[in-house]
């Protein structure tokens, strides 16, 4: 009986070591917000293909058909419900993942707000709050809620999918003031919180994906050249991979150059 137990223990040790060597038991984890379409969905696709465990979040997971298709083909994708404009929703997800390392947090979810709600003279302030709560408060709260998970990981990185529209230096006309101020604000928030995050070894990248062919840019189709989500995410991930603590809170363009604040 004793020798049977010894043989079973030895076999278990070999199996565990094999899983570790193949990377299966120790895959790095990436958490993506707004993962059901556009740039977020492509992040899920590319990180899963690289062997990451992907926590793919969506505010309406039941309707996330493309994401479910991806998850069916790749068992390392876990779909979770998350509305980044809802503080309780973020707390609930953080509670579920308490104690589990998250290597890369991709703050991707974002909205522009409807153009007719941001016309000066007839501003819709509820819509202004929606844009700010989603694009600024969401990434801030996500980063705060998942700080311990990031600090416990190997890579310790936060990506904020910002925009060149957040560059105050680039403003020459009144266009999408809600969206542009939200991206300027999210840049400022992360420029600040990069300090306490750096103390924990966590680096932040603020990255502009450029004009990308997603639902967000549907009205620009045919009017300006749009880049594919495949290319944009490949570039954003390359910047993330090379990111060092010394570069934290750099405002990157998709090509790795820096943008003026
Ligand atoms: N496309 C571009 O040219 C471009 C350029 C610069 C920056 N960006 C930035 O890139 C990011 C992704 O944009 P995209 O082009 O992929 O846009 P998109 O196709 O419109 O996708 C936006 C994503 O954000 C999600 N989302 C919106 N509000 C949310 C909330 N409260 N909670 C959780 N998820 C929410 C959407 O989910 P639902 O399906 O539930 O709405 C969707 O998954 C955004 O931050 C955007 O500002 C895009």
Whole-angstrom Cα distance, residue 242 to residue 240? 5
Rounded distance from Cα 108 to ligand 1 centre (Å): 6
| Residue whose C-alpha is closest to residue 163's, from 220, 94, 210 | 210
Three-class SS state of 123: coil
Longest pairwise C-alpha distance within the chain:
84
φ, ψ of residue 82 in degrees (nearest 5)? -160, 125
Tokens, residue 172: 């020459």
Sign of CA dihedral 246, 248, 250, 253: positive
pLDDT of residue 34: 98
Q: Which of 47, 52, 97, 179 is catalytic?
A: 179
**pLDDT of the residue at 5:** 41
Active-site residue 251, yes or no? no
What region, left, alpha or beta, does residue 222 occupy, with left being phi > 0 and alpha being psi -120 to 50 degrees?
left
- The pLDDT of residue 56 is 99
**CA–centroid distance, residue 37 to ligand 1 (Å):** 8
pLDDT tens-digit profile of 6-31? 444 344 433 333 333 333 345 999 99
Which pLDDT tens digits describe the chain residue by residue (261 residues)? 344 444 443 444 333 333 333 333 459 999 999 999 999 999 999 999 999 999 999 999 999 999 999 999 999 999 999 999 999 999 999 999 999 999 999 999 999 999 999 999 999 999 999 999 999 999 999 999 999 999 999 999 999 999 999 999 999 999 999 999 999 999 999 999 999 999 999 999 999 999 999 999 999 999 999 999 999 999 999 999 999 999 999 999 999 999 999
Q: Is the pTM of this model over 0.75?
A: yes
Give 84-118 pLDDT, tens digit per residue: 999 999 999 999 999 999 999 999 999 999 999 99
pLDDT at position 23: 39
Calculate the alpha carbon distances from 52 to 127, 171, 230 in Å: 36, 38, 17
* Cβ count near 26 (within 10 Å): 12
Structural domains in the chain, sorted by start: 26-253 (3.40.50.720)
Which residues sit with their C-beta closer than 6 Å to ligand 1?
33-34, 36-40, 59-60, 82-85, 108-111, 134, 161, 163, 208-209, 211-212, 214-217
Question: What pLDDT shows up at residue 26?
Answer: 52
CB 101, CB 95: distance < 8 Å: no
């Amino acid at each position: 009986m004793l020798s049977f137990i010894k043989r079973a223990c030895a076999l278990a040790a070999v199996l565990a070591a094999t899983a570790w060597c193949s990377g299966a038991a120790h895959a790095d984890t990436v958490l993506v917000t707004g993962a059901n379409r556009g740039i977020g969905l492509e992040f899920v696709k590319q990180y899963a293909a690289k062997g990451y465990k992907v926590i793919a979040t969506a505010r309406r997971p039941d309707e996330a058909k493309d994401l479910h298709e991806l998850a069916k083909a790749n068992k390392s994708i876990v779909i979770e419900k998350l509305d980044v404009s809802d503080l309780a929703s973020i707390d609930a997800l953080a509670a579920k993942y308490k104690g589990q390392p998250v290597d890369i947090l991709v703050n991707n979810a974002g909205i522009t707000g409807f153009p007719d709600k941001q016309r000066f003279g007839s501003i819709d302030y509820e819509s202004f709050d929606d844009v700010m709560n989603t694009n600024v408060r969401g990434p801030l709260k996500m980063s705060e809620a998942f700080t311990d998970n990031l600090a416990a990981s190997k890579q310790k990185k936060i990506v904020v999918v910002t925009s060149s529209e957040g560059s105050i230096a680039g403003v020459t006309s009144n266009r999408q003031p809600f969206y542009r101020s939200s991206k300027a604000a999210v840049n400022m928030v992360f420029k600040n919180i990069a300090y306490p995050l750096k103390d924990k070894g966590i680096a932040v990248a603020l990255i502009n994906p450029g004009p990308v062919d997603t639902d967000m840019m549907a009205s620009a189709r045919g009017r300006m050249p749009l880049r594919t989500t495949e290319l944009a995410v490949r570039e954003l991930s390359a910047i993330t991979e090379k990111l060092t603590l010394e570069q934290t809170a750099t405002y990157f363009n998709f090509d790795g150059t820096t943008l003026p604040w």
